[in-house]
Structure 1
Amino acid sequence: MKSMKYLYAILLMLSLVNCSKDAINPNAEVEKNTLNDVVRDNFGLTYLATALYKSGLNKMLMQDGSYTLLAPSDDAYKAAGYQNPAVVYAEPTGKLVEQGNYHILKNVVLFTGKDLKMNQEEETVLGTKVYWSRVKRGKDTLTTINGGRLLQADTKAANGVMQVLDRLLVPNVHGNLKQALAANADLSLFYQALKVSGLLESLADTTNYTVFAPNNMAIKQLGYPDLEAIQKADPVGLKKLLSYHIAKERKFAQDYFLLTPDGTTSYTETMLNEKTLTINLLGQYNVPNSFTGITIKGTGNSWALTPLRMDVLAGNGVIHVMGQTLQQ
């Protein structure tokens, strides 16, 4: 019942917002079509319209400027766990402000005809960066932002441009991977193991990495039940184990898909210890260039492992959280 009240309230507020431009001067000719107008007039962006209204960022998108709005579709919000716009409206305002600012770029970025590149950075209003990749794969040109697929490109407005995504982006708030790992309680044993092995500080430098981070349960299954056990462990042995969980360069899950030729179903990744593992690419049967995720198989694993979480972003790389360790 409470969620229904929220929903009714949101629908009322959105209807008022939709009328606000004409209500100010109903006889005036419409001179602008701002990014806020573009969002509110799109039936597939009702969750985003709700988030912008609750956070107050809709006012920014009414002003003069040169913005790029990264607009998660309604399906993107649903995939992130929001059952309806009322759930979005119930979120703390501060969270929606941070989230919204991360979806707005400080300048206009157009993708039609853009060069084919990987992991190019753009600064957000939040002050941290997003990363776009654009590749030709078969007959299609694919564009991703933070590993999410661009669905609709370059919808222009008076004060910028809108790019519609299939993913709600999680704000990048950590300067480096060391900080991102420390902030995740379920990776505390992995963090401590990195520290004992001598690998942790390398994740705080300017080199980009991809980290397949085993969660606490996975580390316990190796025979390290707590922090004390890890502190007593052999640093050389830990380094041998953990260096097989780190690769150079930032790779979102979908980047592995972008880096392979059309029709390819796997990617061979070289880890810090120079050994390789296999990234299996998942997609919908008979749907060209579809991508639904990855599985990872070390040379010593009996079967491929599915990440628990993918694309946890930090300033110098990305983390994929694993429920088991990679065996070499």
Structure 2
Amino acid sequence: MHRQFIKNMIFMEKIRYRSKTLMILAIGMQILGLVACKHEDLTIAVPNENIRPAADFVKNNYEMRLFYAAIKKVGYVDQLNGTGPFTILAPTDEAFNRMGVYNPSDFDKMNQDSLKKVIGYHVLPRRLMVSDIPNNGIDVRYATLSDAELYVSRASTNPNGGAENELYFSGSEVIRQDVVLANGSLQVLDNVMKPNFNKTVQSWLAGQPEYSVFVSGLKKFNLWDQLAGKSEFTIFAPNNEALKNVGITSASLNEMDASKYQGDVLFGVYLLYDRHFFVSDTQVFARINSNSSFNYFLKNSGYYMTFGGGKIYPSFKLGFGLVLRPGNGPADSPIKSATGDIVAKNDNLCSNGLVHHLMDGMVTPEQALKK
């Protein structure tokens, strides 16, 4: 009995050993099989340890080196690497280039307080994703680090079907949406926003020498003082060269007898009253309701204007156009049209409206003579 018991124990140990050996071989074959068979679609969910806080993310992004230089220049790096949450509205280097900024040293030439306010305007003290913005919302306002509100428009639904989700911050298009940061989110902008804190459209124009003839004309025809008030304006500002194209110069203005001209036509043609339109609004309107134009009569006049625009071929950058007619009847053919598609010169946001750059004059003095 004792010998038989020992034999049984030895037999069971051999079975246990063989089973263990077979199991090891099976595991080894599985490992070899995984190595031999390449599964391209095999993904393993692991925590993303590479998500950086805001300032570090911008610093390590090749297309945002100028924006990071500005952040560093005004002392925002530590704050934007902090707890947050933040939403960073980051213009590309190309966007800064259009503003005449090519190197980090260019920021040394700027007023540092003003620069800090502008950069702070590109930061929201909250985490904002596209889905947080109202569908087809126009000029939804959000606070910024500069204590000034910016305007957000989201064209999310096309009436012909399909979601567009085009997004604009104070007229600047978002070209990359909802980048996740460790302490918030980031939206990449195709243009630098241009807020003019506490400046009216009047004070902004007064500080721009290239519009000096336009300013003189507004003063001569009693259209200037209203631009310092609380009423909103969208101004399509022709520079000195544009007015020269329609026969208006500083010298010719001095010689004009204002009583002989319709001032609301000659210079009022460039003023849109009680409206606050970014150039991007034309694109948003086109997406929402398939109509990118806004029509209106000039103030104190029967002349009829169409303001429209969108992404203009071949650059597909935002631009606008104006078309002036003697009236709004079917027989009223256009008198003149002009465009403005220099992105860096449009969307100058002021406390009581916006100023856009118009590339040509609209009305000659002869066309505005009183009958």
Q: When the two structures are superposed, what TM-score results if normalisation uses the length of structure 2?
A: 0.68
In structure 2, stretches of 5+ residues that fail to align are 1-48, 326-333
Is 1:175 aligned with 2:175? no
Cα deviation 1:80-139 (Å, max 9, x = unaligned): 3344x4455655471643432221223433322521211222233223332111113533
Determine the structure 2 residue equivalent to 1:217.
Answer: 241
Larger mean Cα displacement after TM superposition, 175-184 or 263-272: 263-272
The question of whether the paired residues in 2 share the 8 Å contact of 1:297 and 1:304 is answered with: yes
Identity of aligned residues (%): 22
Higher Cα Rg, which structure: 2
Q: What are the within-5 Å matches in structure 2 for residues 144-183 of structure 1?
A: 144-183=168-207
Cα offset, 1:147, TM superposition: 1.3
Q: What are the within-5 Å matches in structure 2 for residues 235-250 of structure 1?
A: 237-247=262-272, 248-250=274-276
Matched AA of 1:322: L
Determine the structure 2 residue equivalent to 1:135.
Answer: 155
Determine the structure 1 residue equivalent to 2:305.
Answer: 276
Q: Which of 238, 261, 277 is the equivalent residue of 1:251?
A: 277
Change (3 A) 1:153 1:305: closer
Larger mean Cα displacement after TM superposition, 102-111 or 56-65: 102-111
What is the DSSP-based 3-state SS (H/G/I as helix, E as strand, rest coil) of the residue aligned with 1:305? strand
Change (3 A) 1:117 1:224: same
The question of whether the paired residues in 1 share the 8 Å contact of 2:128 and 2:185 is answered with: yes
What is the DSSP-based 3-state SS (H/G/I as helix, E as strand, rest coil) of the residue aligned with 1:143? strand
Change (3 A) 1:32 1:201: same
- Cα distance in 1 for partners of 2:51, 2:310 equals 44
- Cα distance in 1 for partners of 2:127, 2:278 equals 24
The question of whether the paired residues in 1 share the 8 Å contact of 2:171 and 2:347 is answered with: yes
Change (3 A) 1:320 1:301: farther
Change (3 A) 1:242 1:97: same
- Cα distance in 2 for partners of 1:269, 1:230 equals 34
Change (3 A) 1:235 1:311: farther
- Cα distance in 2 for partners of 1:207, 1:153 equals 34
The question of whether the paired residues in 1 share the 8 Å contact of 2:195 and 2:350 is answered with: no
The question of whether the paired residues in 2 share the 8 Å contact of 1:219 and 1:225 is answered with: no
Matched AA of 1:298: L
- Cα distance in 2 for partners of 1:271, 1:38 equals 49
Change (3 A) 1:158 1:281: closer
- Cα distance in 2 for partners of 1:265, 1:87 equals 44
Matched AA of 1:250: H
Change (3 A) 1:222 1:120: farther
- Cα distance in 1 for partners of 2:125, 2:210 equals 34
Change (3 A) 1:103 1:42: same
Change (3 A) 1:313 1:157: same
Cα deviation 1:57-76 (Å, max 9, x = unaligned): 21221223333221112332
Determine the structure 1 residue equivalent to 2:361.
Answer: 325
What is the DSSP-based 3-state SS (H/G/I as helix, E as strand, rest coil) of the residue aligned with 1:76? helix
Change (3 A) 1:317 1:279: same
Is 1:37 aligned with 2:71? no
In structure 1, stretches of 5+ residues that fail to align are 1-29
What is the DSSP-based 3-state SS (H/G/I as helix, E as strand, rest coil) of the residue aligned with 1:234? helix
Matched AA of 1:188: S
Matched AA of 2:306: L
Cα offset, 1:222, TM superposition: 3.4
Determine the structure 2 residue equivalent to 1:109.
Answer: 128
Cα deviation 1:223-275 (Å, max 9, x = unaligned): 45249717852386222322221123111112112112589686243254262
The question of whether the paired residues in 2 share the 8 Å contact of 1:213 and 1:245 is answered with: yes
Cα offset, 1:165, TM superposition: 0.9
The question of whether the paired residues in 2 share the 8 Å contact of 1:54 and 1:93 is answered with: no
Q: What are the within-5 Å matches in structure 2 for residues 263-302 of structure 1?
A: 267-273=293-299, 275-284=304-313, 290-299=316-325, 300-302=334-336
Matched AA of 1:63: G
The question of whether the paired residues in 2 share the 8 Å contact of 1:66 and 1:160 is answered with: yes
Q: When the two structures are superposed, what TM-score results if normalisation uses the length of structure 1?
A: 0.75
Matched AA of 2:277: K
Aligned length: 295
Change (3 A) 1:195 1:106: farther
- Cα distance in 2 for partners of 1:69, 1:130 equals 13
- Cα distance in 2 for partners of 1:271, 1:123 equals 35
Larger mean Cα displacement after TM superposition, 115-124 or 300-309: 300-309
